């Protein structure tokens, strides 16, 4: 876009949390307004140096990076939602010309949290965008937004970060030991934010508890399964982590049948091997789908304990 000088009026950045959507939005705002980027010689398309980047040191870059630039407007949920009052305040600002930026940038983080009134107010802005203004909406998935809003944005999908990159970030930037970094990278699901959260949490203790439950699960009575679900649901901040741990366990059970040396939890190989021998691949895949359904229900604000109870009952048979 910078090469061609064809900047759309609205972009939609989608992808899982922690893959750099917000960072890329701010970096793009810097590049749009950095004098060094504006005067950079454009290398031929496809060349190794094709990218155009901001200098990061000029007044404009520093102010955008510190969220002090008058022409960088950011919107985020207040509580659980973005309400129409916040969009109206943006409308008031956009009625005036940019103070100094070549391109004013409005970043709407968690755009899927807009309530219907806020989304419809934004739609009017997107239909008749102000001059020299770029909207960047950030959401997990395109279909999380109103179709009319999404249709007026050019989508940019952010892929999960490869495990090898996560391992490098954790070891080089955070000083995490190699073996632990490999495990965290496998658990993070392509999210650097998730990897950092795991690195700074008591995930090892939770993983040990969960592994004990999973090993015993096929023989547990229903009341014990319900008790395990209750304990998992007791701390909502760790529920998603526990589900990703469970999914990785199931992944290892499937892999163990063909390549036991390639599992992510080698220290739990005994329990994983028992599950791999007990359940066939089709059954293990069905159990993994049960975990994914639980994740989807919880992400959709479903009843956490009920979702966990249903999942664990599926895993127990």
pLDDT at 309: 92
Q: Which of these, 140, 148, 60, 166, lies nearest to 104 by C-alpha position?
A: 60
Those residues with Cβ within 8 angstroms of residue 109's Cβ, 6 or more apart along the chain or in another chain: 22, 74, 75, 76, 77, 138
Ranges of the chain whose pLDDT falls below 50: none
pLDDT at 43: 58
pLDDT at 206: 83
pLDDT at 51: 63
| Sign of torsion over alpha carbons 245, 247, 248, 253 | positive
The token duo for 61 is 């870059």
pLDDT at 134: 94
pLDDT at 40: 57
CA 62 to chain centre: 26
pLDDT at 45: 58
pLDDT at 299: 82
Q: Is the pTM of this model over 0.85?
A: no
pLDDT at 179: 81
């Amino acid at each position: 876009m910078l090469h061609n000088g064809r900047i759309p009026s609205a972009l939609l950045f989608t992808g899982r949390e922690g893959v750099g959507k917000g960072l890329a939005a701010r970096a793009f705002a810097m590049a749009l307004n950095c004098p060094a980027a504006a005067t950079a010689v454009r290398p031929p398309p496809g060349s190794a140096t094709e990218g155009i980047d901001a200098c990061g040191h000029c007044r404009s870059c520093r102010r955008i990076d510190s969220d002090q630039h008058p022409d960088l407007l950011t919107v985020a949920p207040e509580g659980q939602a973005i309400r129409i009052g916040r969009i109206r305040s943006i409308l008031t600002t956009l009625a005036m010309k940019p103070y100094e930026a070549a391109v004013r940038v409005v970043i709407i983080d968690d755009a899927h949290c807009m309530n219907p009134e806020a989304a419809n107010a934004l739609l009017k802005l997107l239909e008749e965008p102000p001059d020299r203004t770029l909207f960047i909406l950030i959401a997990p998935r395109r279909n999380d937004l109103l179709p009319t809003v999404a249709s007026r944005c050019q989508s940019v999908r952010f892929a999960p970060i490869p495990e090898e990159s996560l391992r490098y970030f954790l070891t080089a930037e955070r000083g995490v030991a190699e073996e632990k970094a490999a495990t965290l990278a496998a658990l993070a699901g392509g999210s650097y934010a998730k990897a950092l959260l795991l690195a700074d949490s008591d995930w090892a203790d939770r993983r040990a508890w969960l592994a004990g439950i999973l090993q015993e699960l096929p023989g547990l009575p229903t009341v014990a399964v319900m008790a395990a679900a209750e304990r998992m649901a007791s701390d909502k901040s760790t529920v998603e982590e526990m589900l990703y741990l469970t999914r990785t366990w199931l992944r290892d059970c499937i892999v163990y049948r063909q390549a036991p040396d390639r599992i992510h939890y080698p220290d739990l190989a005994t329990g994983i091997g028992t599950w791999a021998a007990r359940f066939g691949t089709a059954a293990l895949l069905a159990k993994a789908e049960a975990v994914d359904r639980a994740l989807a229900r919880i992400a959709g604000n479903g009843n956490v304990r009920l979702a966990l109870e249903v999942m664990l009952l599926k895993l127990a048979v």
